[in-house]
């Protein structure tokens, strides 16, 4: 009987390699992201506006730091803000997907949660590339930032890749909070963390009593690290420690929420 | 060797806090069977389906799908499901959704074929958010067909559809069922269970209260109810009357379920003091209500309907 032989053949099937990771799915996820015009406008326009308002003061243009000027340093900070905002925004979309029942639908397919998260993170990188590219382009066109051309590329890549870590924060918030709140609360938290971590005004200009607080905030470590190629000097392991501890907390939080995620919302 | 059952549940329980949604369900579904879980809202149908899919682990008991864990069966592409609602991304088109899902499976049917079978080719380029409830449901069906699953679960698949949408949806399912896959669907529409299932499992308050073929269930529903006034009625002697299935005594009135109401009525009038007889036919709806409301009443519990 054919039904029986179909079944016998079906029982020989194998699970997909790499947990179901797929380039086609990645492409479709990017296409989805490009359809949300408000997200794109916000994620790209906001850092550009911030750079145009804080980054170009004549004091910064004439102030040297490491191998460039303060405007270049500000460009890196603001690009990091934009990139982190983009990856976190990409991560937080899981909140909507949970409410739509899409996460549940995916649990009825061979796709592994790990492969799904990797695809979400890679998707959010395209948005982060847009944010970094836009800030660097505006800085280039307005020609106030100065540093060796190699450093433009190196710092740009560091910012872009480093921002990936904060998609874990977005995922954590996305799995933790309902969709109408998740993105807003995340924006607020990122604004506070960016200000505290010295992404808008360098920590060196903070009043002394706030410096310790700044150093313990989540974006401080990453911000110092992406400035290192420009600023140079002594390397501080505390930056790595700061980043590792916060990243660990975000990942643990996201995994903790993810494990409880198959229930109906 | 593998377990020949498509689904095997052994004394499965599920609690959500203090709510005991599934209370000891044991069930074996043969490959190729089309089975309906029938029961009112909140009976535990969706919870049972979630357990079969591995979406929520049972609090107690064992679940095997083709002899494997639910997750293993899903990763091999043996099982797919059509959910009650949701489960779609609004910002993808119908075709993109099918492409997306298709890539998650190793064994898959061609996209064009699946879309044609589900009848969604004409709306392929439409955004999901612009599709009607019925169209979205056919899209979910197309997605579920992609891996060519051996077991297809449908949770209240026609919920909220109009009559025409419901008919189109079942036509698509029926066209597909000839292939011999196992289909399990939950519904609270009696007509759906009757029209499309080989086997109907009534679920009420987290328990299986009846399990039989559609024909057996119809037989269950074909009897009549006799109301009579009979002071001092004795349940045992009433049960002894040929053709009596169930007896309920409430004070001076008795309620008798029977497959042969004429014979029972004749006996009651001729040989007892019964008077004021009323005979009512008992539709599937009544059978449903009897079976699903009186679980705590042992007389109303009918295991394996007609055996």
Residue B218's pLDDT is what? 64
Residue B305's pLDDT is what? 38
**A197-221 b/e (C-beta count within 10 Å ≥ 16 → b):** bbbbebbeebeeeeeeebbebbbbb
| Other C-beta atoms lying within 10 Å of the C-beta of residue A117 | 20
Is A189 domain-assigned? yes
How close A224 comes to chain B (CA, Å)? 38
Q: Return d(Cα B245, Cα B257) in angstroms, integer.
A: 5
Average pLDDT value over all residues in chain A: 89
Residue B194's pLDDT is what? 84
Cα torsion A214, A220, A223, A227: sign = positive
Residue B304's pLDDT is what? 38
Can you give the pLDDT of all 307 residues of chain B as single tens digits? 445 899 999 999 999 888 899 999 999 999 989 999 998 888 899 999 999 999 889 999 999 999 999 999 999 999 999 988 889 999 999 999 999 999 999 988 999 999 998 889 999 999 999 998 889 989 999 999 999 999 999 998 888 778 887 888 888 787 777 778 899 999 888 788 888 888 999 888 899 988 888 777 766 666 788 899 988 888 888 888 888 888 888 888 898 888 788 888 898 899 888 899 988 866 556 666 666 554 444 443 344 333 3
DSSP conformation class of B282: -
Instruction: Please judge whether B106 and A16 are an interchain contact, meaning their C-beta atoms are less than 8 angstroms apart.
Output: yes
Q: Pick from A101, A263, A104, A108: which is nearest to B57 by CA? A: A263
Q: Does A259 touch chain B (CB under 8 A)?
A: no
Q: Does B101 touch chain A (CB under 8 A)?
A: yes
Instruction: Please judge whether A263 and B56 are an interchain contact, meaning their C-beta atoms are less than 8 angstroms apart.
Output: yes
- In sequence order, the 6+-apart residues with CB closer than 8 A to the CB of B44 are B14, B21, B22, B23, B25, B203, B205, B206, B207
How close A125 comes to chain B (CA, Å)? 19
Q: Does A106 touch chain B (CB under 8 A)?
A: yes
pLDDT above 80: residue A150: yes
Among the partner residues B53, B103, B180, nearest to A25 by beta-carbon distance? B103
A2-16, A34-48, A181-195: the lowest-pLDDT one: A2-16
Q: Does B124 touch chain A (CB under 8 A)?
A: no
Residue B285's pLDDT is what? 60
Say if CB B152 and CB B182 are below 8 A apart.
Answer: yes
Instruction: State mean pLDDT over A148-172.
Output: 93
Environment class of residue B2 by beta-carbon count within 10 Å: exposed (0-12), middle (13-18) or buried (19+)?
A: exposed
Question: Which chain B residues are Cβ-neighbours of A11 within 8 angstroms?
Answer: 2, 66, 76, 78
A265 — pLDDT class (breaks 50, 70, 90): very low
Question: Which chain B residues are Cβ-neighbours of A112 within 8 angstroms?
Answer: 75
Question: Which chain A residues are Cβ-neighbours of B148 within 8 angstroms?
Answer: 10
The residue range of the domain holding A79 is: 19-259
Q: Does B91 touch chain A (CB under 8 A)?
A: yes
Residue B163's pLDDT is what? 83
Instruction: Please judge whether B100 and A24 are an interchain contact, meaning their C-beta atoms are less than 8 angstroms apart.
Output: yes
Q: Does B80 touch chain A (CB under 8 A)?
A: yes
pLDDT above 90: residue A158: yes
Instruction: Please judge whether A97 and B79 are an interchain contact, meaning their C-beta atoms are less than 8 angstroms apart.
Output: no
Instruction: Please judge whether B85 and A101 are an interchain contact, meaning their C-beta atoms are less than 8 angstroms apart.
Output: yes
Asked if the interface predicted TM-score (ipTM) of this complex is over 0.95, the answer is: no
Is A243 domain-assigned? yes
Say if CB B90 and CB B128 are below 8 A apart.
Answer: yes
Q: Does B4 touch chain A (CB under 8 A)?
A: no
Say if CB A112 and CB A190 are below 8 A apart.
Answer: no
Q: Which residues, numbered 47 to 66 in chain B, qualify as contacts with chain A under a Cβ-Cβ cut-off of 8 Å?
A: 50, 53-56, 66
Say if CB A77 and CB A156 are below 8 A apart.
Answer: no
Question: Which chain A residues are Cβ-neighbours of B106 within 8 angstroms?
Answer: 13-16, 110
Percentage above 70 pLDDT, chain A: 96
Task: Find how far residue A153's CA is from the centre of its chain.
Answer: 18
Report how many domains make up chain A. Answer: 1
Query: Domains (ranges, CATH) in chain B?
Result: 7-218 (3.40.50.300), 224-281 (3.30.70)
Which stretches of A29-150 are assigned E, i.e. beta strand? 64-65, 68-69
Is A205 domain-assigned? yes
Question: Which chain B residues are Cβ-neighbours of A262 within 8 angstroms?
Answer: 55-56
How close B258 comes to chain A (CA, Å)? 41
Residue A137's pLDDT is what? 96
Please give the residue that has the higher pLDDT: either B282 or A27. A27
Instruction: Please judge whether A101 and B88 are an interchain contact, meaning their C-beta atoms are less than 8 angstroms apart.
Output: yes
How close B80 comes to chain A (CA, Å)? 6
- Residue of A109, A114, A123, A179 to mutate for B, most B C-beta atoms under 10 A: A109
Q: What is the dihedral of CA A218, A223, A224, A227, to 10 degrees?
A: 170
How is residue A192 written in tokens?
């506070």
Instruction: Please judge whether A25 and B89 are an interchain contact, meaning their C-beta atoms are less than 8 angstroms apart.
Output: no
Q: Does A6 touch chain B (CB under 8 A)?
A: yes
**A13-33 b/e (C-beta count within 10 Å ≥ 16 → b):** bebbeebbbbeebbebbbebb
Among the partner residues B88, B143, B150, nearest to A100 by beta-carbon distance? B88
Is A41 domain-assigned? yes
Q: Return d(Cα B23, Cα A242) in angstroms, integer.
A: 50
Is A10 domain-assigned? no
Q: Which of A95-99, A116-120, B92-96, B250-254 has the highest mean pLDDT?
A: B92-96
How is residue A76 written in tokens?
């890196």
Q: Return d(Cα A35, Cα B117) in angstroms, integer.
A: 29
Please give the residue that has the higher pLDDT: either B2 or A80. A80
Radius of gyration of chain A measured on its C-alpha atoms: 21
Radius of gyration of chain B measured on its C-alpha atoms: 23
Q: Does A7 touch chain B (CB under 8 A)?
A: yes
**3 state SS of B93:** strand
Q: How far is CA A20 from CA A14, A31, A107, in A?
A: 12, 19, 12
Is A12 domain-assigned? no
Residue B245's pLDDT is what? 83
Q: Does A15 touch chain B (CB under 8 A)?
A: yes
Is A14 domain-assigned? no
- In sequence order, the 6+-apart residues with CB closer than 8 A to the CB of B208 are B25, B26, B27, B201, B202, B303
Is A198 domain-assigned? yes
Q: Does A101 touch chain B (CB under 8 A)?
A: yes
Q: Does B17 touch chain A (CB under 8 A)?
A: no
Q: Does B83 touch chain A (CB under 8 A)?
A: yes
Q: What is the dihedral of CA B66, B67, B68, B69, to 10 degrees?
A: 100
Chain B CA closest to residue A98: B87
Q: Does A255 touch chain B (CB under 8 A)?
A: no
């Amino acid at each position: 009987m054919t039904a029986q032989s179909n079944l016998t053949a079906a029982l020989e099937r194998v699970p997909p390699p790499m947990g179901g990771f797929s380039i086609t799915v990645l492409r479709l996820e990017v296409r989805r992201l490009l359809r949300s015009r408000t997200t794109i406008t916000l994620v790209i326009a906001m850092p550009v506006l911030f750079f145009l308002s804080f980054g170009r003061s004549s004091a910064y243009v004439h102030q040297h730091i490491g191998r460039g000027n303060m405007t270049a340093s500000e460009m890196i900070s603001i690009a990091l803000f934009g990139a982190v905002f983009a990856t976190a925004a990409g991560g937080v979309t899981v909140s909507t997907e949970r409410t739509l029942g899409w996460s549940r639908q995916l649990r009825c397919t061979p796709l592994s949660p790990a492969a799904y998260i990797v695809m979400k993170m890679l998707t959010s990188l395209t948005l982060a590339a847009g944010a970094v590219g836009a800030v660097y382009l505006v800085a280039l066109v307005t020609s106030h930032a100065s540093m060796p051309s190699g450093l433009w590329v190196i710092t740009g890549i560091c910012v872009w890749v480093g921002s990936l870590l904060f998609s874990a924060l977005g995922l954590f918030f996305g799995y933790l909070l309902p969709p109408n709140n998740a993105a807003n609360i995340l924006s607020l938290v990122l604004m506070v963390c960016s200000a505290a971590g010295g992404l808008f005004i360098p920590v060196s200009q903070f009043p002394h009593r706030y410096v310790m607080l700044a150093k313990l905030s989540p974006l401080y470590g990453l911000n110092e690290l992406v400035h290192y190629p420009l600023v140079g000097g002594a390397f501080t392991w505390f930056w790595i420690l700061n980043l590792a501890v916060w990243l660990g907390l975000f990942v643990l939080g996201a995994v903790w929420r993810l494990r409880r995620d198959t229930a109906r919302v | 060797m593998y377990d020949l059952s498509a689904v095997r549940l052994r004394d499965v329980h599920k609690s959500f806090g203090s709510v005991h949604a599934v209370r000891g369900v044991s069930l074996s579904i043969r490959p190729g069977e089309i089975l309906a879980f029938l029961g009112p809202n909140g009976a535990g149908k969706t919870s049972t389906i979630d357990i079969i899919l591995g979406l929520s682990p049972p609090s107690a008991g064992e679940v095997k799908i083709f002899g494997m864990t639910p997750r293993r069966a899903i990763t091999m592409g043996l099982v797919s499901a059509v959910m009650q609602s949701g489960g779609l991304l609004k910002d993808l088109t119908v075709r993109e959704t099918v492409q997306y899902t298709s890539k998650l499976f190793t064994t898959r049917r061609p996209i064009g074929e699946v879309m044609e079978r589900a009848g969604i080719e004409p709306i392929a380029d439409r955004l999901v958010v612009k599709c009607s409830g019925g169209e979205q449901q056919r899209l979910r069906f197309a997605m579920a067909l992609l891996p060519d699953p051996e077991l297809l679960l449908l949770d209240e698949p026609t919920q909220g559809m109009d009559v025409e949408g419901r008919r189109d949806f079942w036509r698509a399912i029926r066209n597909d069922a000839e292939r011999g896959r196992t289909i399990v669907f939950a519904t609270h529409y009696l007509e759906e269970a009757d029209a499309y299932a080989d086997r109907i499992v009534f679920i009420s308050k987290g328990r299986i209260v009846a399990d039989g073929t559609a024909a057996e269930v119809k037989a269950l529903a074909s009897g009549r109810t006799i109301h009579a006034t009979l002071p001092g009625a004795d349940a045992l002697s009433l049960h002894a009357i040929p053709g009596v299935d169930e007896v309920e005594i409430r004070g001076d009135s008795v309620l008798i379920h029977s497959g042969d109401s004429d014979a029972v009525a004749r006996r009651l009038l001729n040989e007892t003091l019964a008077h004021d007889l009323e005979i009512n036919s008992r539709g599937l709806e009544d059978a449903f209500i009897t079976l699903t409301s009186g679980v705590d009443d042992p007389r109303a519990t009918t295991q394996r309907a007609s055996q």
